Structure 1
Amino acid sequence: MQGTSEILERAIEQLAKLPGTGRKSARRIALHLLKQSEESVMQLADALVDLKQSITRCSHCGVISDGDPCSICSNPKRQNGQLCVVEESQDVYLIEKTNEFRGMYHVLGGVISPLDNIGPDDIRVKELMRRVNDEEYPVDEVILALNPDSEGEATSYYINKLLKPYDEIKVTRIAYGIPMGTELEFIDEATLSRAFASRNAF
């Protein structure tokens, strides 16, 4: 483009590929980086290279981690009998922030979505069943913590069906209810219905 820097435009083009980043935001980020010291920009570049080259997935649970096994799977204080099934690594971090769960995790790496040609073989269902059948670390409870959308529901139903023959394993799911501070008139019917279905004793 005449009248501007080709190097700047190339940087903008790459930044615009990031999720939720349009060309305007990409240009602002690129211009912001130009104002920073060379040291801070190099620190960012090094962090991105490390992110790609050094990050791995835990061979046990599938979470994104610095090492294998991850810090959760290698923690002897975690309860092996409880296995929480989530869609992605970010779900593990969200649950860990609550300090409510002290068991282990299993990251599926996606959900069943026929419209996107994603079936059970395309996510980590076989690995889940291997863990369920591991006699060294017996599983007492599988907690399904998938998103309450159609794909998450279908995946939960499929996993629950696979686990039906295991009488010794309790299959549960996290309750989905009404967020604190939200008025009922702003709650959609599905959320309100699930809140009633998941109600607990007061």
Structure 2
Amino acid sequence: MLTKASSLSRLVGELKKLPGVGERTALRLAFHLLKTPQNLTLLAESLLEVRARVHACSVCFAITEDDPCAICSGSRDTGTICVVENSQDLMALERSNAYQGVYHVLEGCISPLAGIGPADLRIAELLERVGRGGVSEVVIATNFTVEGEATALYLTKALKPLNLKVSRLAHGIPLGSDIEFVDAATVQWALQGRNEL
């Protein structure tokens, strides 16, 4: 049996901290790593390398190994800034190949219950960036959660006086889904945001 002080117990405890990993999965992962010591060494080395090399871009605050990141230093449309909550959201938008502007990562969203206010996010940096000029549109791409909507509303109020276009990602019924299985709030958003054909 595992003792609380054992290195295996500590490994299981650390693996349990990962999102979606419970006790049984953590134990299964730990034993898998022990069966293949080379994989354990490679994993440890890659974790140390990521810790040493990955940091936030000084322009958009996305995670990167280069500063500025490849998007900020590339030939993208700097007149359009897409605001996202985190780097994972940025990567999801990039996979679509539908957006050619630059980004701004807030590093979270407004959540009074969690004690996160506007001052805890990269909102001041966004306003400073827009204030320098050359930006014609800010696309707000926060998540469609209560916190994401609160953040979008706050950003809209802060950006509107700066005389630029402020837009929000469209939302509604996902492609390929049946309306009968979609929740009422999503149907309501879809009806409110309908487009003329």
1:108 Cα deviation (Å)? 0.5
Residue aligned with 2:161, SS: coil
Q: Structure 1 stretch 5-14 or stretch 148-157: which is displaced more?
A: 5-14
- CA deviation after TM superposition for structure 1 residue 7, in Å: 2.9
Question: Partner residue of 1:172?
Answer: 167
TM-score by length of 2: 0.94
Please, which of 142, 150, 153 is the counterpart of residue 149 of structure 2? 153
TM-fit CA distance, 1:2: 6.6
> Are the equivalent residues in 1 in contact too, given 2:2–2:9 (CA < 8 A)?
no
Q: For 1:164, what is the secondary structure of its paired residue?
A: helix
User: Which string of whole-angstrom CA distances, capped at 9 and with x for unpartnered residues, describes residues 101-123 of structure 1?
Assistant: 00000000111111112111010
Structure 1 residue 82 displacement after superposition:
0.4
Distance 1:26 1:193 in 2: 41
Unaligned runs of 5+ in 1: none
Q: Which of 78, 81, 84 lines up with 1:83 in the alignment?
A: 81
CA distance in 1, matches of 2:2, 2:115: 44
Please say if residues 57 and 67 of structure 2, whose CA atoms lie closer than 8 Å, have aligned partners that are also in contact: yes
Alignment equivalent of 1:105, drawn from 100, 103, 111: 103
The DSSP-based 3-state class of the residue aligned with 2:162 is coil
**C-alpha distance in structure 2 between counterparts of 1:103 and 1:63, whole Å:** 14
SS state at 1:199 partner: coil
Whichever residue aligns with residue 27 of structure 2, its letter is R
The residue aligned with 1:42 is 41
User: Which residue is 1:18 aligned to?
Assistant: 18
Deviations 1:37-61 (A, max 9, x none): x333211111111121211000100
What residue is the counterpart of 1:58 in the other structure?
57
After superposition, what is the alpha-carbon deviation per residue over 1:19-43, rounded to whole angstroms, capped at 9, x for unaligned?
A: 211111111001111111x333211
Q: Secondary structure at the match of 1:146?
A: coil
Q: How many residues align?
A: 197
Equivalent residue, structure 2, for 1:196? 191
| Cα deviations by residue, 1:119-138 (Å, 9 ceiling, x for unpaired) | 11010110000110113xx1
1:8 aligns with 2:16: no
Counterparts in 2 of 1:2 and 1:11: CA distance versus 1, 3 Å:
closer
What is the alpha-carbon distance in structure 2 between the residues aligned to residue 83 and residue 95 of structure 1? 13
Aligned partners of 1:119, 1:140: CA distance in 2, in Å?
A: 26
How many Å separate the matches in 1 of 2:195 and 2:59? 33
Query: What are the superposed Cα offsets for residues 122-158 of structure 1, whole Å, 9 maximum, x if unpaired?
Result: 10110000110113xx100000001111111111111
> Which structure 2 residue ranges, 5 or more long, are not aligned?
none
Segments ≥4 residues shifted beyond 6 Å: none
TM-score relative to the length of structure 1? 0.92
Q: Tell me what 1:28 maps to.
A: 28
* Distance apart, 1:91 and its partner CA: 0.4
